[in-house]
Amino acid sequence: MTTPALLPLSGRRLPPLNLGASAFPHHRATLRLSEKFILLLILSAFITLCFGAFFFLPDSSKHKRFDLGLEDVLIPHVDTSKGGKNLGGFLIHGQGHDEHRHREEEERLRNKIRADHEKALEEAKEKLKKSRDEIQAEIQTEKNKVVQELKKKDSKPLPPVPLPNLIGINSGEPADPDIREKRNKIKEFYLNPWEGFRAPNPGNTLRPKNKKVIGRNSQMGATIVDALDTLYIMGLHDEFREAQEWIDKNLDFSVNSEVSVFEVNIRFIGGLLAAYYLSGQEVFKIKAVQLAGKLLPAFNTPTGIPWAMVNLKSGVGRNWGWASAGSSILAEFGTLHMEFVHLSYLTGDPVYYNKVMHIRKLLQKMDRPNGLYPNYLNPRTGRWGQHHTSVGGLGDSFYEYLLKAWLMSDKTDTEARKMYDDAIEAIEKHLIRKSNGGLTFIGEWKNGHLERKMGHLTCFAGGMFALGADGSRDDKAGHYLQLGAEIAHTCHESYDRTTLKLGPEAFKFDGGVEAVAVRQNEKYYILRPEVIETYWYMWRFTHDPKYRQWGWEAAQAIDKYCRVSGGFSGVKDVYSSSPTYDDVQQSFFLAETLKYLYLLFSNDDLLPLDNWVFNTEAHPLPVLHLANTTLSGNPAYR
Ligand code: DMJ
pLDDT in tens, 600-638: 999 999 999 999 999 999 999 999 965 555 444 444 444
Q: Is residue 2 part of a domain?
A: no
Number of the ligand 1 atom closest to the C-alpha atom of 393: 7
Could you read off the pLDDT of 553-583 as tens digits, one per residue? Answer: 999 999 999 999 999 999 999 999 999 999 9
The arithmetic mean of pLDDT across residues 293-301, rounded, is 98
CA atoms of 329 and 319, how far apart (whole Å): 9
Could you read off the pLDDT of 367-424 as tens digits, one per residue? Answer: 999 999 999 999 999 999 999 999 999 999 999 999 999 999 999 999 999 999 999 9
- Residue in 252, 530, 533, 617 annotated catalytic: 530
Q: Is 230 annotated as a binding residue?
A: no
Yes or no: say if 235 and 269 are a contact pair by the CB < 8 Å rule. Answer: no
Q: Which of 332, 400, 457, 502 to mutate to test the pocket of ligand 1 (most atoms within 8 A of CB)?
A: 457
Number of the ligand 1 atom closest to the C-alpha atom of 586: 10
| Nearest protein CA to atom 8 of ligand 1, as residue | 457
DSSP 41-53: HHHHHHHHHHHHH
505 as an active site residue: the answer is: yes
Q: How many Å lie between the centroid of ligand 1 and the Cα of residue 590?
A: 12
Q: Is 332 in the pocket of ligand 1 (CB under 6 A)?
A: no
Q: Is residue 377 part of a domain?
A: yes
- Of 464, 459, 553, 461, give the one whose Cα is nearest residue 506: 459
Q: What pLDDT does residue 118 have?
A: 80
530 as an active site residue: the answer is: yes
Q: Is residue 141 part of a domain?
A: no
CA atoms of 301 and 124, how far apart (whole Å): 46
396 as an active site residue: the answer is: yes
- Residue in 248, 258, 263, 422 annotated catalytic: 263
What pTM did the predictor assign? Answer: 0.77
Q: Is residue 68 part of a domain?
A: no
Beta bridge partners of 206: 213, 585
Q: Is residue 145 part of a domain?
A: no
Q: What pLDDT does residue 90 have?
A: 23
Q: Which of 226, 230, 261, 266 to mutate to test the pocket of ligand 1 (most atoms within 8 A of CB)?
A: 266
Number of the ligand 1 atom closest to the C-alpha atom of 533: 4
CA atoms of 379 and 387, how far apart (whole Å): 16
Q: Is 457 in the pocket of ligand 1 (CB under 6 A)?
A: yes
- Of 337, 325, 341, 419, give the one whose Cα is nearest residue 379: 325
Q: What is the CATH number of the domain that holds 214?
A: 1.50.10.10
Structural domain boundaries, residue 266: 177-628
Q: Is residue 447 part of a domain?
A: yes
Q: Is 615 in the pocket of ligand 1 (CB under 6 A)?
A: no
Q: Is residue 531 part of a domain?
A: yes
Considering only residues 70 and 232, tell me which one the structure prediction assigns the higher pLDDT. Answer: 232
Q: Is residue 154 part of a domain?
A: no
Could you read off the pLDDT of 304-316 as tens digits, one per residue? Answer: 999 999 999 999 9
Domains identified in the chain, total number: 1
Q: Is 614 in the pocket of ligand 1 (CB under 6 A)?
A: no
400 as an active site residue: the answer is: no
